[in-house]
Amino acid sequence: MNRLDWNSLDGAGQRAALARPAQSRADSLRSGVEQIIARVRADGDDALRELSARFDRCTLEAIEVTEEEFRAAEATLAPALKAAIDEAAARIEAFHRAAAPMPVTLDTATGVRVERVLRPVGRVGLYVPAGSAPLPSTALMLGVPARIAGCREVVLCSPARADGGCDEAVLYAARSNGVHKVFKLGGAQAIAAMAYGTASVPKCDKLFGPGNAWVTEAKLQVSADPDGAAIDMPAGPSEVLVIADAAANPAFVAADLLSQAEHGPDSQVILLSPSATMLDAVEAEVLRQCAALPRAEIAEQALAQSRLIAVASLAQAVEVSNRYAPEHLILQVNEARELLDGIESAGSVFLGAWTPESVGDYCSGSNHVLPTYGYARSYSGVSVASYQKQITVQEVSPDGLRAIGPCTATLAAAEQLEAHRRAVTLRLAALEDAA
């Protein structure tokens, strides 16, 4: 693992220490995604079948998952797994309902009422990866808030296996949590299908969900096209930053680092600690635990991009973390909550030794679809609000216009927008004439 001392680095060295793995927006990737999107727009379902055969090595007869497939998936799953999915969904729903935006009505002056009303995004498209591992938890994280928001139609795409079927747990999680249609599609072609529509896949207003570089690039491209679709957030490979003090348990810290490293070879894990002894112990523990992982080869590739960084204090660790803006931030320190007020940029924070990042991935109730690659500086994770439009409403009575009309007219005149001013003064004059 890469060992660094923060305070021995110059500015360039510090920037390099916090650099993510190269996010591939190379010309070849951009061009390849453009070609896929163009092909789907031109040839629709035929393109989807051909691209699925090429990239997912499967032959699709029906692109949409059938009722029979949903029933078979539910019958196939072990009762314990179905119970765990249902249990997780209940906690996710409880938290997301409590955190959902509320309508607002306020009289800002006598006779002046301003409101905020909430309306769901009409049709949303959810993307659930299934490359090296299927992710039914992502179906929960995307489907539950969409259901709470009341979206008219919820569409989900997830890559098919070589046998042409979708992961049974993904299907169960989707169907039991409000998803209306599931399509056996992955990659940039799935994003293109949901953004522009085909004979089988309906055009969606907004797209959600994580994915690989091709999916991310496709989301960015369709969101930049007025004929495409909005997206939840830019996202990249998964990442975690851990702040640990001398009292932390090295085995716990190592397990948290590896839980992200096993996601993929482009994942990144960082440990900040003022204790050299802790850095030594964690490095040894990571190597020991990694050797026993089924996905050790993937984790080892991610660890090549890892950082073990010595800092002068926990306060400096917080400063470095805010600069990095991690997707996941774990505070394995005594009195972890005391550091929370200083955290300015993070997708989700995990406090204390007994709060592994894994609980947030699955069933604590928070959402695991989070901004990565530094976007936590300006974006939030998926929530019910992500699936809603907030529309403001105002209603002004005659007395209300008398109260705020002069203010409006003065500001309009200052901006030299005479029609704006007259829209108010004409009404004020009419009220005066009628008095």
Q: Which residues are catalytic?
A: 327-328
**Secondary element (H or E) of residue 38:** helix 27-55
Torsion, Cα of 253, 254, 259, 261 (10° steps):
120
Contact call for residues 367 and 373 (beta carbons, < 8 A):
no
Largest CA distance in the chain: 87
Q: Is 324 annotated as a binding residue?
A: no
Q: Is 328 annotated as a binding residue?
A: yes
Report the C-alpha gap between 309 and 19 in whole angstroms. 13
Residues 6+ apart with CB under 8 A from 396: 111, 112, 113, 404
Q: Is 212 annotated as a binding residue?
A: yes
Q: Is 368 annotated as a binding residue?
A: no
Cα within 13 Å of Cα(307), Cβ side: 27
Amino acid at 141: M
Report the C-alpha gap between 247 and 314 in whole angstroms. 12
Q: Is 260 annotated as a binding residue?
A: yes
Question: How would you list the strands of the sheet with 388-396, edge to edge?
Answer: 104-109, 112-120, 388-396
Question: Given the structure tokens 């498209």, which residue do they identify?
Answer: 125
Q: Is 7 annotated as a binding residue?
A: no
331-335 own/partner pairs: CB under 8 Å, 24+ apart: 331/243, 332/242, 332/243, 332/244, 332/245, 332/248, 332/249, 332/252, 332/253, 332/256, 333/243, 333/244, 333/245, 333/247, 333/248, 334/245, 334/247
**Exposure letters 23-49 (e unless 16+ CB within 10 A, then b):** beeeeebeeebeebbebbbeebeebbb
Q: Is 2 annotated as a binding residue?
A: no
Q: Is 415 annotated as a binding residue?
A: yes
Q: How many CB atoms within 10 Å of residue 390?
A: 12
Q: In angstroms, what CA-CA distances link 309 with 203, 333, 335?
A: 46, 16, 21
Contact call for residues 279 and 310 (beta carbons, < 8 A):
yes
Instruction: Locate all alpha helices (DSSP H) within 58-152, ordered by sequence.
Output: 67-76, 79-99, 136-149
Q: How many CB atoms within 10 Å of residue 14?
A: 17
Name the DSSP letter for residue 29: H
Backbone φ and ψ of 154, nearest 5°: -120, 120
Q: Is 238 annotated as a binding residue?
A: yes
Residues annotated in a binding site: 127, 189, 212, 238, 260, 263, 328, 361, 415, 420
Annotated binding site for Zn(2+): 260, 263, 361, 420
- Give the residue numbers of the binding site for NAD(+): 127, 189, 212
Residue stretches of the annotated binding site for substrate: 238, 260, 263, 328, 361, 415, 420
